[in-house]
Amino acid sequence: MVSMNCLDTQARAQVIRCLAEGNSIRSTVRITGVAKNTIVNLLLEVAEVCREFQDHTLRNLKCKRLQLDEIWSFVYAKEKNASEAQKANGAGDAWTWTAIDADSKLIVSWLVGNRDSVCATEFVKDVASRLKNRVQITTDGHKPYLIAMESAFGADVDYAMLQKIYGKPLGKEQETRYSPAQCIGIKIDMVTGDPDPGHINTSYVERQNLSMRMSMRRFTRLTNGFSKKVTNHAAAVALYFFHYNFCRVHQTLRVTPAMEAGIADHVFDHEELIAMVDAAAPKAVARGPYKKRAAISN
């Protein structure tokens, strides 16, 4: 296995490319020949740069329509199976809150946490801090959004809730355990402002949820590829959103979401990301001349 000190830019970029394309840690080990701990350490190092870069870059956005949603996953064990001691170390359910621009498909903000009003308020406030103008927002019927929107925007937003009604259609046989329920209707609530009825939907953000499950092994259901540590889970999410916003060309847009939103002028590659990591790394301090420790007298 290859250690971190032996990896050049191309080798590190290959590791990040494998992780960004949905490979698990162990499959990346088999593909690249790089040691498991080296891959995890590189993921954490790169993810920190991805977080800082996007936090700085995704500001003063001229979005017009946003869609917000939250997607479930878990760390180490599901909430019902985790002990109190394990939950204290980050085990249990982990919800990823996302906000997507319906026009540019840019992920404006995300947050990994619980599915409660505290995380909802923190998430929506972060979304509001990144916008330059008044927007229209659509969410599902999750109640904490009501408190969060009032706290972050007040009345300066056009906000609607779209709640899908799921059930079994009449005349259908019993569904199997893993078959999804069928949407049999929707309920729309105009909460604040004057939302345009033609743009009240959550289709783009729900499609983004599918992309997340397809692009991060940690989100794949019914596997043992789930995250074992919450720090690694958050790091994988940060890398994914950088790759999605800046590196991967959107099939419909023909450019990256960041280019469509006007905050980038080219498609980022993973070698460029590694160069950003190297630039952000602290410079090694030259060691002075070695001095023997003075003898200790009695």
188 DSSP β-pair partners: 162
Residues 6+ apart with CB under 8 A from 197: 188
| Residue with token string 């890398």 | 239
pTM above 0.85, yes or no: yes
| Residue with token string 């409660």 | 116
* Structural domains of the chain in order of their starting residue, each with its CATH number: 4-280 (3.30.420.10)
CB atoms within 10 A of CB 93: 16
Amino acid present at 291: K
Amino acid present at 102: A
List the pLDDT tens digit at each of the 298 positions of the chain: 655 557 899 999 999 999 999 999 999 999 999 999 999 999 999 999 999 999 999 999 999 999 999 999 999 999 999 999 999 999 999 999 999 999 999 999 999 999 999 999 999 999 999 999 999 999 999 999 999 999 999 999 999 999 888 777 555 555 566 666 777 778 889 999 999 999 999 999 999 999 999 999 899 888 888 999 999 999 999 999 999 999 999 999 999 999 999 999 999 999 999 999 999 877 544 444 444 334 444 3
> Strand pairing of 107-113 and 136-139?
unpaired
